[in-house]
């Protein structure tokens, strides 16, 4: 399924660049124009500061099956159909999650300033 992305929506996306093979990942679109995403993972990304990992639960994002983390330390791009395919669009994430993401992005020590400005404006 290939459709346009929307700022602030959550997706299940099959990424071709994951290793050792293509993998389905939950992601939040933080800029539809680029497009830029933050991955959602069941474990914190240990190579990044834990403060950059936003803890979310199935109560926050009902498509999740367990507590997970939004990695705000690293934005990834997705170009349909070259690097990814949308499996499912879960719609907009709740406003309180968007606000928490913006706070973490504003304080980011890993994202380029241009990404910080774009993400804060778009969410």
Domain ranges of the chain: 9-122
Residues 7-39 as b or e (16 or more Cβ within 10 Å = b): bbbbbbbebeeeeeeeeebbbbbbbeebbbbbb
Residue 98's SS3 state is helix
Give mean pLDDT in consecutive 10-residue pieces for the chain, a chain of 123 residues. 79 82 90 91 79 94 97 86 84 97 94 95 92
- So what CATH class is 9-122? mainly beta
Q: At 6, which helix (H) or strand (E)? A: none
Can you say how many angstroms the Cα of residue 40 is from the centroid of all Cα atoms in its chain?
A: 6
User: Is residue 19 a contact partner of residue 35, using CB atoms and an 8 Å limit?
Assistant: no
Query: CB 63: neighbour CB atoms within 10 A?
Result: 13
Interatomic CA distance for residues 108 and 42, integer angstroms = 21
Say what the pLDDT of residue 99 is.
Answer: 97
Interatomic CA distance for residues 96 and 88, integer angstroms = 22
Say what the pLDDT of residue 3 is.
Answer: 58
Say what the pLDDT of residue 1 is.
Answer: 44
């Amino acid at each position: 399924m290939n459709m346009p992305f929307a700022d602030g929506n959550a997706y299940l996306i099959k990424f071709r660049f994951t290793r050792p093979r293509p993998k389905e990942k939950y992601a939040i679109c933080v800029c539809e124009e680029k497009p830029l995403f933050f991955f959602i993972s069941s474990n914190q990304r240990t190579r990044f500061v834990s403060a950059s990992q936003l803890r979310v639960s199935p109560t926050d994002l009902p498509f999740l099956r367990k507590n997970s983390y939004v990695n705000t330390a690293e934005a990834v791009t997705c170009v349909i159909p070259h690097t990814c395919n949308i499996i499912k669009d879960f719609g907009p994430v709740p406003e309180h999650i968007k606000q928490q993401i913006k706070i973490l992005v504003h304080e980011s020590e890993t994202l380029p300033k241009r990404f910080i400005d774009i993400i804060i404006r778009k969410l």
